[in-house]
Structure 1
Amino acid sequence: MNVLVLNSGSSSIKFQFFAMQGGEGGAVRAKGAVERIGESSGKFEYENEKGAEFKREDAVPDHDAGLRLVMEALTHADHGVLASTDEIEAVGHRVVHGGERFHAPTSINDEVEQAIEAHIPLAPLHNPPNLTGIRTARKLIPNAEQVAVFDTAFHQTMPPHAYMYAFPYELYEQAGVRRYGFHGTSHAYVSRELCKLMGREVEDVNLISAHLGNGASMAAVAGGRCVDTSLGMTPLAGLIMGTRTGDFDPAILFYLARERGYSLEEMDQLVNKESGLKGICGSNDLRDVHDKAASGDERAALALEMLAYRNRKYFGGYFAALGRVDAIVFTAGVGENDDRVRELSLQGLSGLGVHVDPERNQAGGGRFKAPGRISTDDSPVQVWVVPTNEELEIARQTYTALRA
């Protein structure tokens, strides 16, 4: 099955085109991105399975024009991989928020499109561009099956005691106030891949998945089912991130509004864009934070300590939530490439059966382009680094939804 995966942002379209070989694997025949949509100077990058590249910088007025560029590249006489867009059998769309309604990948019709639109209040920055991509693709590739793959779906197996907040129950019933979780496509991918690497059935493995990047989350996964996750109703909760606070005392905002005159917009900006690592030491790029700390910057060293300490607390909490942990898996930009953060985040967990091999953790400069085990051979809890592949996971889920 030929599957085009689209990730539509507010000013971008990222894409990969797969020739799926069953529900598990697929060859990437082409990939690329359209960026700066709606700006005076757009950018389009494309490459195919043979290494041929195509780049263009020109205005891209809207998503319709952006997706037309993608279609033209895929069918181009010189660097295309298709004779016609009619060869695209399915389009898998990343959709950030599906609320409680969507527990699995879903074929898109008018009703589903309206439901995604209805969830915009829960993800006002993400669902609108996701929806724009869906509407554009349905118009330009009308013969292809369109499937929505939701970031929140993987976490819909959480029990009520894990996803409910201690607010008046009416806020859950009437306004949907609860924990939803995000990064679900990534957590789903690395969880399944880890079980393969361990040579065990998914149903037999309890694991903690740590998706660490500029945005970060953890998930406690029991037998393939998420039972808890660190992100909440929004992507603000949980771990310390590049520019987001993670968990904090919400009464701080009342104090800032009352004593410092902060507006709602200023508080939103504060907790989402000006906090986290950036707020502590002035940089949200961990490479810069490491460099600053190594040169004696005390606030950068503090930021690293804070981040690692929060990670450790969540690891420990998920040991308690799962009861038994067979493995920990790191993924995403920081999880895959920062051996120091991995080391500090697991420091002191030997009493829980976590024993990291320093040489394995630092192999290849600590950067993992392929899966690798970083725990000792006799560690009761295996620790792995597994590079995520959300596009392949979307293609897999799209294939599975249409073959069901």
Structure 2
Amino acid sequence: MSDHVLVINAGSSSLKYSLIDAASGEAAASGVVERIGEPEGHHVHHGTDGESNTSLKIASHEDALRAALKAFETHGPSLDDIEIAAVGHRVVHGGSQFADPALIDDDLVAAVNDLVPLAPLHNPANLEGIQVARRLFPDLQQVAVFDTAFHQTLAPHAYTYAVPLDWRDDHGIRRYGFHGTSHAFVAAEAARLLGQEPADLNLIVLHLGNGCSAAAVRGGQSVDTSMGMTPLEGLVMGTRSGDLDPAIHAHLVRELGWTVEEIDHALNYESGLKALAGGNDFRELSISREAGDARAQLAFEIYCYRIKKYVGAYYAVLGNVDAIVFTAGVGQHSADVRAASLAGLERLGIQLDAERNNTSSGEARTVSADDSAVAVLVVPTNEEWQIAREALSLVRLAEA
């Protein structure tokens, strides 16, 4: 039986896809269709013939997936030659119902639709991708892999907010956490790098990209995480504020007459590094810092200070820490962020090796000093591979 899984990540105006060998992690092809529903869309496909770029009007997610299938035919690899074992879908919010990947049927679609109020920016697009794939691949098993699932091991004292009971019981208001597929993949890879079993390790995993989250992982299970009911809570991000006094919302309503929608948009799309430094691209922020831009420097300091606070908090939660793991675009590539976020924590047994930290590499590696009691690792994430592995494992189990 084939190990290949077609992984689909449908956003509100985009559709990303990868054809992954779940055993090896090798991508036979990948691509992204952007600006769905706009006058001119854009499609990039990486296949056996190299990279192809196409501009065309893409009215819907169905058109996007059909464009992807045509690219497989034209630029390879041909799906007639590669048997697909399953289709794996990234679904952002699984609520408290889904602690594991799940086979997609009408009941699951209804359940994910019921969760739309918890993720109105994400779940509708995820559902659109699922519905389109079910129509175009009616004979393939389809699996939903939830961003929140890895964090369903949080204890009640970690996920419960101190809010009225009916908010919690009737409206599902609690901490769920996100980036779960990334945290799960990176925690397992960190254990492999250290030559130990995940069950024997306490880790602090820092997923630092345009979206950022921290997780405390004990014995391979998440025990706390920085994102909350939505992906807005926690670390400073590219365009999201992270932690914020909730009374600010009421203040903006009273003083400025803002609507809930205006506040929500500002905190999700106009805040974070974008608000602090004028842009959310960390590479541009680094260039501005080097040029002496005071706004960029302050943004960098705020960003790293927040990370340091979470490292300290999760060190206390775990009691002892075997490794701190950096991942995602900023976590993997910014030596300055790693150094600034951990500076002054030597008393906690955390000691970077400057030369190792400043050496660029695309491989998982150790950047701490040999005598550091806590290892500091850089581990590239691979959420598509994690989704493929979880999807294939569930399909094989269902067929057994």
Q: Which of residues 216, 240, 243 is equivalent to 1:244?
A: 240
SS at match of 1:197: helix
Q: Which of residues 342, 365, 379 is equivalent to 1:386?
A: 379
Q: Which of residues 9, 13, 16 is equivalent to 1:14?
A: 16
Please, which runs of 5 or more residues in structure 2 have no aligned partner?
none
State whether residues 85 and 392 of structure 2, in contact with CA within 8 Å, keep that contact through their aligned partners in structure 1: no
Residues 179-190 of structure 1 mapped to structure 2, 5 A cutoff:
179-190=175-186
Q: CA deviation at 1:26?
A: 3.4
State whether residues 42 and 59 of structure 1, in contact with CA within 8 Å, keep that contact through their aligned partners in structure 2: yes
Give distance in 1, aligned partners of 2:81 and 2:37. Answer: 27
**Equivalent residue, structure 1, for 2:364:** 371
Give distance in 2, aligned partners of 1:363 and 1:380. Answer: 21
Q: CA deviation at 1:11?
A: 1.4
State whether residues 89 and 143 of structure 1, in contact with CA within 8 Å, keep that contact through their aligned partners in structure 2: no
Give distance in 2, aligned partners of 1:331 and 1:243. Answer: 19
Q: CA deviation at 1:64?
A: 1.2
Residues 5-404 of structure 1 mapped to structure 2, 5 A cutoff:
5-21=7-23, 25-48=24-47, 50-76=48-74, 79-83=76-80, 87-364=83-360, 368-404=361-397
Q: Percent identity?
A: 51
SS at match of 1:244: coil
Q: CA deviation at 1:313?
A: 0.5
State whether residues 20 and 384 of structure 2, in contact with CA within 8 Å, keep that contact through their aligned partners in structure 1: no
Q: What is the letter of the counterpart of residue 46 of structure 2?
A: E
Q: CA deviation at 1:60?
A: 1.4
Give distance in 2, aligned partners of 1:379 and 1:51. Answer: 46
265-274 or 158-167, larger mean C-alpha shift: 265-274
Give distance in 1, aligned partners of 2:186 and 2:207. Answer: 9
State whether residues 155 and 223 of structure 2, in contact with CA within 8 Å, keep that contact through their aligned partners in structure 1: yes
240-249 or 255-264, larger mean C-alpha shift: 255-264
Give distance in 2, aligned partners of 1:235 and 1:134. Answer: 22
Q: What is the letter of the counterpart of residue 384 of structure 1?
A: L
Give distance in 1, aligned partners of 2:267 and 2:35. Answer: 26
Q: CA deviation at 1:207?
A: 0.1
Q: CA deviation at 1:165?
A: 0.3
State whether residues 53 and 79 of structure 1, in contact with CA within 8 Å, keep that contact through their aligned partners in structure 2: no
Q: CA deviation at 1:278?
A: 1.9
Give distance in 2, aligned partners of 1:29 and 1:293. Answer: 39
Alpha-carbon deviations, 1:50-69, whole Å to 9, x = none?
Answer: 45333321111211111112
Give distance in 2, aligned partners of 1:235 and 1:290. Answer: 25
Give distance in 2, aligned partners of 1:278 and 1:89. Answer: 41
Q: What is the letter of the counterpart of residue 212 of structure 1?
A: L
SS at match of 2:236: coil
State whether residues 330 and 336 of structure 1, in contact with CA within 8 Å, keep that contact through their aligned partners in structure 2: yes
Give distance in 2, aligned partners of 1:193 and 1:232. Answer: 25
State whether residues 22 and 385 of structure 2, in contact with CA within 8 Å, keep that contact through their aligned partners in structure 1: no
Q: What is the letter of the counterpart of residue 44 of structure 1?
A: H
State whether residues 49 and 76 of structure 2, in contact with CA within 8 Å, keep that contact through their aligned partners in structure 1: no
Alpha-carbon deviations, 1:9-57, whole Å to 9, x = none?
Answer: 1111111112333xxx333211111112112212222122x45333321
**C-alpha root-mean-square deviation of aligned residues, in Å?**
1.4
Q: What is the letter of the counterpart of residue 19 of structure 1?
A: D
99-108 or 279-288, larger mean C-alpha shift: 279-288
SS at match of 1:89: strand
SS at match of 2:326: strand
State whether residues 97 and 127 of structure 1, in contact with CA within 8 Å, keep that contact through their aligned partners in structure 2: yes
Q: CA deviation at 1:354?
A: 0.5
Please, which runs of 5 or more residues in structure 1 have no aligned partner?
none
Give distance in 1, aligned partners of 2:218 and 2:188. Answer: 12
SS at match of 1:75: helix
Q: CA deviation at 1:83?
A: 1.8
Give distance in 2, aligned partners of 1:384 and 1:239. Answer: 19
Count of aligned pairs between the two proteins = 395
Q: CA deviation at 1:276?
A: 1.4
Give distance in 2, aligned partners of 1:294 and 1:84. Answer: 50
Give distance in 1, aligned partners of 2:65 and 2:353. Answer: 46
State whether residues 61 and 129 of structure 2, in contact with CA within 8 Å, keep that contact through their aligned partners in structure 1: yes
Q: What is the letter of the counterpart of residue 9 of structure 1?
A: G
Give distance in 1, aligned partners of 2:67 and 2:259. Answer: 42
Q: CA deviation at 1:298?
A: 2.2
State whether residues 75 and 84 of structure 1, in contact with CA within 8 Å, keep that contact through their aligned partners in structure 2: no
133-142 or 36-45, larger mean C-alpha shift: 36-45
TM normalised by structure 1 equals: 0.95
